[in-house]
Amino acid sequence: MFLWVKALHVISVIAWMAGMLYLPRLFVYHADAEKGSVQSETFKVMERRLFCAITTPAMIASWIFGLTLLHLYGTGIFSEGWIWLKLAFVLLLSGFHGFLGKTLKAFARDENTRPAKFYRMINEVPTVIMIVVVIAVIVKPF
């Protein structure tokens, strides 16, 4: 059972990361689109579907399978430093997910005030978080 849960955790994390990397990129192009245009309305549909149908369910699955893995590992895992680093950065990624959801709602109401350059910069946030988590889990530096 452990390997199945681990595989499902990795699959859901990959799906979550795909959404977290793609949604800010959509915001880059949406920020440059004229409000009310066909292009802007198309971005709204794409963003909503990505966030609601893929990214959020994948985040929920990642948490469920991740917490299940913690349960299967037992409390001894909490004596290892890498798990705390991973948990901290997963919480950070979850907060970023919430920020993207809030941003999505602002775009849906045509109330975005940030330029495309802002979204280009924040597009790197999930990449940095992913790098830290992968190194923590694979290398276990402490």
The binding site comprises 9, 86
Binding residues for heme: 9, 86
The C-alpha angle with vertex 79 and arms to 70 and 17, in degrees rounded to 5, equals: 45
Whole-angstrom distance, CA of residue 19 vs CA of residue 131 = 16
Helices (H), the chain: 2-32, 38-49, 56-73, 81-108, 116-122, 125-139
SS3 of residue 141 by DSSP: coil
Contacts 24+ apart (CB under 8 A), 83-90: 83/136, 85/132, 85/133, 85/136, 85/142, 86/133, 86/136, 86/137, 89/129, 89/132, 89/133, 89/136, 90/62, 90/66, 90/133
